[in-house]
Amino acid sequence: MKRLLAIFFFVCGLNGFANEQVRFEEANKAYSEQQFDSALEIYTQLIDEGWQSAAIYFNTANCHYRLNSIGKAILYYEKAKLLAPEDEDIIANLKLAESQKIDEFEVMPTPVFTRIFNSLLAVFSNSIWFIVGLILIFLGATALTFFLVSKSKSTLRFGLYLTLGTIGLLFLFLGNIKLNQEENNTFGVLTIANAYVKSEPNIGEDLFIVHEGTKAHIEETFSNWIKVRFPDGKTGWLLAESFESI
- Whether 65 contacts 97, CB under 8 Å: yes
Cite the DSSP H helix spans in the chain: 2-32, 36-48, 54-66, 70-83, 88-98, 112-121, 126-149, 155-184
**From first to last of its 246 residues, what are the pLDDT tens digits of the chain?**
545 444 434 444 444 456 788 999 999 999 999 999 999 999 999 999 998 999 999 999 999 999 999 999 999 999 999 989 899 999 999 999 999 999 888 877 778 888 888 888 888 888 899 999 999 999 989 888 888 877 777 777 888 888 999 999 999 999 999 888 777 778 999 999 999 999 999 888 999 999 999 999 999 999 899 999 999 989 999 999 999 998
Q: Closest Cα to residue 46, out of 73, 14, 17?
A: 17
φ and ψ at residue 19, rounded to 5 degrees: -65, -40
pTM: 0.72
- Helices 70-83 and 54-66 cross at an angle (nearest 10°) of 160
Q: Closest Cα to residue 214, out of 75, 111, 90, 83?
A: 75
Beta bridge partners of 228: 218, 236
- pLDDT at position 3 is 52
3-state SS, residue 87: coil
Give the sign of the dihedral formed by CA 85, CA 86, CA 89, CA 91: positive
- pLDDT at position 144 is 85
Residue 65: burial class (beta carbons within 10 Å; 0-12, 13-18, 19+): buried
DSSP state of 107: P
- pLDDT at position 106 is 82
DSSP state of 111: P
Q: Closest Cα to residue 211, out of 109, 106, 107, 98?
A: 98
